[in-house]
Amino acid sequence: MSSASVTAELDAVLGDATARLAAAPDLETITALDAEFLGKKSAVTVAKKQLGQLDPSDRKAAGQAINAARAALEQAVADARERLAVGARQAQYESERLDLTERLGAVRRGSLHLNTQARDRLEDVFVSMGFTVAEGPEVETAWYNFEALNIPDWHPARGSFDTIFVNLGEPEQVMLRSHTSPVQIRTMENTAPPIYIVAPGRTFRTDTADATHLPAFNQIEGLVVDRGITLGDLHGTIEAFVHAFFGGEVKTRLRPSYFPFTEPSAEFDISREDGSWLELGGCGMVHPKVLRNCGIDPEEWQGFAFGFGIDRLAVMRYELDDIRELVNNDVRFLRQF
Ligand code: DAH
């Protein structure tokens, strides 16, 4: 035996070990190869033990070759271990990966319901004129829905509201509000003038649904209470709102009318393209009795109020043939807006 043959043998072992480590599919295989190539019965260990049998002049070179082979084998085992660890980490990343760019086909964006769009626009217009938005409950008592608004129970106007009563307490004392006017009362009760509010919300009557009526519909109420308020302020406000909502071409007019909670009272109309007029809502100067019912002195404060249907406004603005389209929930219709 010579250092040359030892070197040749270890080279062959190293080639074999490197190839098999590179192909090792798992940690157990690598551990087995580690024992085979670096353990007690491995070629490097055996060669080292046999060093003493070599010619002394050859011993040093052979020793160096054995150490180099051992180092190379250790490195090959470490590399193989690292290769598997990297692969395992990679597999874990892959399995835990979230694809944040994933899309489920072509997504159609929804849109707000026509009523919501109309209501949002109305609020925007009035807020830009200095009003704030108020709210009230949909279930009301006779006091707020009628009495405080100067509609006592003997009053003929009470019958004209087609009220839906709730079976609670005394008969006909609790109801689904038949208009948004009770929010006027609630606001005046809780707020010292000056008051500039609009109150949009759902309202209910026993009406049968047809092309122009819905039993559950939406109104918006306006209320201003301040010093020195006149009918001119009322008309100016309605005109400014109509222009902001429909555009400059639309004209407005007030027609004398009657509501128990306003004096004088009027109905207001807006002009249609064909020159005819469309009735939009009621309005007037807040009745002194109504102010007094809310603890406001009519000698010091005056006010105007108005109320109209939001659904009808949507019908007009979007030129719908039938108000029921608003509640049929037919996406083919709704999707157009
Ligand atoms: N509340 C009335 C209705 O539903 C509408 C109305 C008329 C409201 C005149 C007002 C008003 O504030 O001043 O028919």
CA-to-CA dists, residue 165 to 162, 169, 170, 172, 176, angstroms: 9, 11, 11, 6, 6
d(CA 259, ligand 1 centre) in Å: 7
Residue 1: predicted pLDDT = 67
Are 234 and 285 in contact by the 8 Å Cβ rule? The answer is yes
Q: Cα separation of 273 and 72, whole Å? A: 95
d(CA 282, ligand 1 centre) in Å: 5
Ligand 1 nearest atom to the CA of residue 223, by list position: 12
Hey, whose CA ends up nearest to atom 4 of ligand 1? 179
pLDDT tens for the chain, 337 residues: list them.
688 888 888 889 889 989 999 898 888 999 999 899 998 998 888 888 888 888 888 888 888 888 888 988 999 999 989 988 888 899 888 888 887 777 777 777 888 999 999 999 999 999 999 999 999 999 999 999 999 999 999 998 888 889 999 999 999 999 999 999 999 999 999 999 999 999 999 999 999 999 989 999 999 999 999 999 999 999 999 999 999 888 888 899 999 999 999 999 999 998 888 889 988 899 999 999 999 999 999 999 999 999 999 998 888 888 899 999 999 989 888 888 8
Question: 185, 159, 169, 160: which is closest to 293 by C-alpha?
Answer: 185
Q: Can you give the residue ranges of every domain in the chain? A: 3-96, 114-334
Strands 132-133 and 277-286: unpaired
Q: Cα separation of 143 and 147, whole Å? A: 5
The angle that helices 310-317 and 231-246 make with each other, rounded to 10 degrees, is 40
Q: Cα separation of 22 and 33, whole Å? A: 11
The angle that helices 3-23 and 56-96 make with each other, rounded to 10 degrees, is 10
From 149, 261, 267, 268, the mutation candidate for ligand 1 (largest count of ligand atoms within 8 A of CB) is 261
Helix, strand, coil share (%) of the chain residues, nearest 5:
45, 20, 35
Residue 289: predicted pLDDT = 98
Q: Which protein residues touch ligand 1 with a CB less than 6 Å away?
A: 179, 181, 221, 259, 262, 281-284, 305-307
Ligand 1 nearest atom to the CA of residue 304, by list position: 13
CATH class of 114-334: alpha beta
Hey, whose CA ends up nearest to atom 12 of ligand 1? 306
From 238, 306, 311, 312, the mutation candidate for ligand 1 (largest count of ligand atoms within 8 A of CB) is 306
d(CA 266, ligand 1 centre) in Å: 9
Q: Cα separation of 301 and 318, whole Å? A: 39
Structure-block tokens of residue 205: 């009557």
d(CA 179, ligand 1 centre) in Å: 7
d(CA 12, ligand 1 centre) in Å: 104
Structure-block tokens of residue 250: 């639309």
Phi-psi region at 135: left, alpha or beta (left = phi > 0; alpha = psi -120 to 50): beta
Q: Which residue has the tokens 């659904």?
A: 311
Q: Cα separation of 333 and 326, whole Å? A: 9
Amino acid code (one letter) for 331: V
Amino acid code (one letter) for 82: E
Are 211 and 195 in contact by the 8 Å Cβ rule? The answer is no
